[in-house]
Amino acid sequence: MLKLHFAPQSRAVRSAWLLEELGLAYELNAMAFHPSDLKSDQHRARHPLGRIPVLEDGDVMIYESGAIAEYILERHKNGGLKPQPSDDNYPIYLQWFHYCEGMVMPPINTIVVHTILLPEERRDATVLGQAQRLLLKSLEPVEADMANKDYLAGDFSAADTMLGHSILMTDRMGLLGDNFPNLSAYVARLKARPALQKAFALEG
């Protein structure tokens, strides 16, 4: 059985969400988002930097949420959530799947560092403001593309579990405002999906 090493408020939610959408059975190793768990010798044997998510599949151990998604889709896809290469939506699927980590998550990471992870005396308001502006700028093309669309690439796909999760994080931080009506509606559609509700419930 697949085993997902998971901690709340992390990219591991993406992996759990995808597994739930596909209806795949998996075992969950729920960990605290704390060095006592993530930096333990036991977990460093799974991920040398002590990060999550990590997916185990028999003798296979794989990390990076995007790599985990592609692995699951190719080896355990159970019906898809990915357009075929001949599909007109395939290029846009690839674009938004990878846009997540290439453009949206870097500023989100900086925001998290300067609002949560660093002690207050080490937080930099200038750096935080720059990251917030960069995040919103990076979402403008997605907002424009989502006009008259329910999901990123035709039907709901793994691109939505990747980039959609980042947009959900942006919404959680209170940064989706009136300038993003399409993405606000998109967030509401994602939140209504039972599989996402199950993945969020794992956070406790």
Which pLDDT score, from 0 to 100, does residue 136 have? 98
Instruction: State whether 48 and 101 are in the same domain.
Output: no
Instruction: State whether 154 and 188 are in the same domain.
Output: yes
CATH code of the domain containing 62 = 3.40.30.10
- Scanning the structure block, which residue is given the tokens 């985990």? 68
Longest dimension (CA), the chain: 53
- To the question of pTM greater than 0.75 for the whole model, the response is yes
pLDDT at 137 > cutoff 90: yes
User: Predicted confidence band at 40 (pLDDT cuts at 50, 70, 90)?
Assistant: very high
Please write down the long-range contacts of 117-121, taking CB distance under 8 Å and 24 or more positions apart.
none
Instruction: State whether 135 and 116 are in the same domain.
Output: yes
Residue type, 157: S
User: Which among 18, 49, 81 is the end of a domain?
Assistant: 81
In a domain, 200, yes or no: no
Instruction: State whether 54 and 109 are in the same domain.
Output: no
Digit-coded pLDDT (tens) for 112-132: 999 999 999 999 999 999 999
Mean pLDDT score of the chain = 96
User: Which among 18, 52, 81 is the end of a domain?
Assistant: 81
pLDDT at 78 > cutoff 80: no
Digit-coded pLDDT (tens) for 97-107: 999 999 999 99
